[in-house]
Amino acid sequence: MSLITATNISYTYPGAVAPVFNDLSFSADAGSRIGLVGPNGCGKTTLLNILTGNLSGYSGQVIRRTGLRIATLSQEAGERSSQSVFAFLRPQIASLRAEINRLEESVDAAAASLQLADRYAEFNDIDGYAVEADIARLFSEFSLAPDFLQRPVDSLSGGEKNRAGLIRLLLECPDFLLLDEPTNHLDVEALEWLENYLRNIKIPWLVVSHDRRFLDNCCETIWELKNGSLTEFSGNYSFYREQKEQRLQRQIIDAKQADRNIDRLQKAAEMQRNEANRMENFKPERDRTKRGGICKRDEGSAKALLRTQNKQRAATAMEQRLQRLVDKAKAEKPFIEKKRSISFPEKNLKNSCILRVENLSKAYGELQLFSDFSLTVLNGERLAVVGPNGSGKSTLMRILAGYEGCDNGLVSWAPAAVAGYHAQEFEQLDFSATVLEHVLAGDYAGQTRARTILGCLKLEKEKVDQRIETLSVGERSKTALARLLFMAPDVLLLD
């Protein structure tokens, strides 16, 4: 049974001329395990917002089964908020639990007892105990400690925010899941749990992801959104790639055959036209009869005229057929994208030691992230920082980049070293600036080089003049990367 059916969906962003996608038609049923893939900025998140009813202004029709409960995980899960994780997950239950705790700790127990009885009854009516049990179970499955429930959302790492968003979504007991980049920032353990969960649940889902391994392990159908069109492929991501490659090779073969057909028809059309023109202009050498009269052909007999006209019509028809064949070949010719390569220019620093960290410590309240941490980074080294969500990886990067202070210790960079920092949540981006303005950062003499870098990252034409706040998350990441390429740092800190 179809849960969601979309017919001829088209959408154009405000102020844009061309639609981001056009005439999309598809359906999702009770057994759907769909992966939605496509390049950054092609409209994947926009399509999800249309399916949930959060976005209007589109043309076409979306039909949802009556009473269908859709739960959505946003790509930017976890708001920047001082509320606790409990309040983020279930505001009403968190508020009531806080009131019960306050009354239980009240000095005047007699006065509080009546209120407590009312609060217990209210808590039971809204299934508070069942929800708390579900939260505890999900916390255990996501390897989260019980005290995580009271932490402020804005103190969480990107991976912890994503876990909180997933838990809130799973608590809603939905009929259909829409997951926008659910694997962002998850550590290996949480990612494996999510894969296993999606493989085994009976709830249908649609997931947007660029994680090929995740799509391989979970999906049974792949939808590709590209160049404004949606194409469906059966199977997981690897099978989709195989099907796509096979389709491309068939298109290449068909395109070559079409070129050969066009070449043959073009030669035939030229011969037909030349023959028609020859007949039109033909004059025999002997234009007089033996008796001195004009030859009948030169007089223009009806049959000769008809033959010439038919020849001209046949030549015109062949040329029209040729034009139709050329137009069809152009429309069906596969687009083979040129390979683009990007390299970071190297300045060949003379320092053998680029970075020295000594006895670094950092804590948030009672949460100690790391202590007495020391590190030496030599010229030419490539290091990876790994660990579970919330262990302090992003905090360490922010300290090294100079965006945050440490509690104790020393961070010492080589005097000539310039560090470029790519933040997990794009703190350095000026969302009110355009893409080109942010990359240039006032260095307008380098506009040609900046446009070349953006073009290599597929941010081209009118896209470079868009404000960053209007971009997709993937395009924002590319903008931040373009800025790093443009500033040509000696050291990269990539979170």
pLDDT per position as a tens digit, 404-444: 999 999 999 998 888 999 988 788 888 899 999 999 998 88
65 plus 214 within the same structural domain: yes
Instruction: Kindly state whether residues 423 and 471 are assigned to the same domain.
Output: yes
32-53: average pLDDT? 93
Query: What is the predicted pLDDT for the residue at 106?
Result: 74
The per-residue pLDDT for 10 is: 95
Confidence of residue 356 (pLDDT cuts 50, 70, 90): very high
Residue 24 lies in a domain: no
Indicate the DSSP class of residue 89. Answer: H
Instruction: Write the CB contacts of 443 (distance below 8 Å, at least 6 apart in sequence).
Output: 486
Whether residue 179 is contained in a domain is answered as: yes
d(Cα 448, Cα 353) in Å, to the nearest integer?
34
**Considering only CA atoms, which of 148, 149, 154 is closest in space to residue 81?**
154
Residue 368 CB coordination number (10 Å): 12
Q: How far apart are CA 400 and CA 421, in angstroms?
A: 9
Q: How far from the centroid of its chain's Cα atoms is residue 327's Cα?
A: 32
- Of 92, 167, 175, 93, nearest to 130 by C-alpha is 93
In this predicted structure, the answer to whether residue 244 has a pLDDT above a threshold of 80 is yes
- Same-domain pairing of 81 and 147: yes
Whether 356 contacts 376, CB under 8 Å: yes
* DSSP conformation class of 30: T
Which of 212, 243, 274 is the last residue in one of the domains?
243
d(CA 429, CA 477): 9
Residue 161 is assigned to a structural domain of this protein: yes
- Are 60 and 159 within one domain? yes
Q: Please write the tens of the pLDDT for every residue from 59-100.
A: 999 999 999 999 998 876 545 567 889 999 999 999 998 888
- Same domain, yes or no: 123 and 200: yes
1 belongs to a structural domain: no
pLDDT of 302 higher than 80:
no
Rounded to whole angstroms, the Cα distance separating 237 from 211 reads 10
pLDDT for residue 339 is more than 80: no
Residue with tokens 């043309």: 59
- Measure the CA–CA gap between 4 and 344, rounded to whole angstroms: 46
pLDDT of residue 212: 93
For 477-493, the pLDDT digits (tens) are: 999 999 988 988 889 99
| 463 pLDDT more than 50 | yes
Which 8-state DSSP code applies to residue 222? E
pLDDT, the chain, mean: 85
The pLDDT of residue 280 is: 64
Q: Please, what is the angle between helix 91-104 and helix 128-141, to 10°?
A: 110
State which H helix or E strand residue 238 sits in: helix 237-281
Q: If pLDDT is split at 50, 70 and 90, which confidence band does 462 have?
A: confident
Residue 149 has pLDDT above 70, yes or no: yes
pLDDT score recorded for residue 217: 93
CA angle centred on 18, ends 14 and 20, rounded to 5°: 75
Same domain, 324 and 420: no
At residue 179, φ and ψ (nearest 5 deg) are: -115, 120
Q: Which has the closest alpha carbon to 149: 105, 78, 89, 65?
A: 89
Range of the domain at 93: 50-243
Task: Please report the DSSP string for 67-82 in residue order.
Answer: T--EEEE-TT-S-S-S
| Confidence (pLDDT) at 193 | 83
The verdict on 333 and 451 lying in the same domain is no
User: Per the domain annotation, does 323 fall within a domain?
Assistant: yes
Residues 277, 197 within the same domain: no
Residue-level pLDDT at 285: 47
**More confidently predicted of 240 and 314:** 240
Nearest to 72 by CA among 150, 176, 210: 176
More confident: 216 or 351: 216
Residue 286's pLDDT band (boundaries 50, 70, 90)? very low
How confident is the model at residue 75, as a pLDDT? 72
Q: Are residues 360 and 478 in the same domain?
A: yes
Indicate the helix (H) or strand (E) that contains 149: none
Segment of 106-120, 140-154, 194-208 carrying the highest mean pLDDT: 194-208
- State pTM to two decimals: 0.74
| Relative orientation angle of helices 158-171 and 188-200, to the nearest 10 degrees | 20
Assign 155 a pLDDT band (cuts: 50, 70, 90).
confident
Comparing C-alpha atoms, which of 440, 398, 386, 442 is closest to residue 423?
398
Q: How many domains does the chain have?
A: 3
- For residue 183, tell me if it sits in a domain: yes
Say whether 247 sits in a helix, a strand or coil: helix
Top pLDDT among 327 and 291 is at 327
Q: How far apart are CA 287 and CA 191, in angstroms?
A: 92
Residue 310 clears pLDDT 80, i.e. is over it: no
* Residue 297, in any domain of the structure: no
Phi and psi torsions of 424, nearest 5°: -65, -35
Residue of 142 and 260 predicted with greater confidence? 260
Q: Is the pLDDT of residue 58 over 70?
A: yes
Burial of 99 (0-12, 13-18, 19+ CB in 10 A): middle
User: Same domain, yes or no, for 195 and 271?
Assistant: no
Closest CA to 69 of 87, 86, 52, 81: 52
Residues 99 and 227 in one domain: yes
Average pLDDT over residues 227-252: 91
Are 376 and 438 in a shared domain? yes
The CATH number assigned to the domain holding 97 equals: 3.40.50.300
The per-residue pLDDT for 142 is: 79
Q: Is residue 104 part of a domain?
A: yes
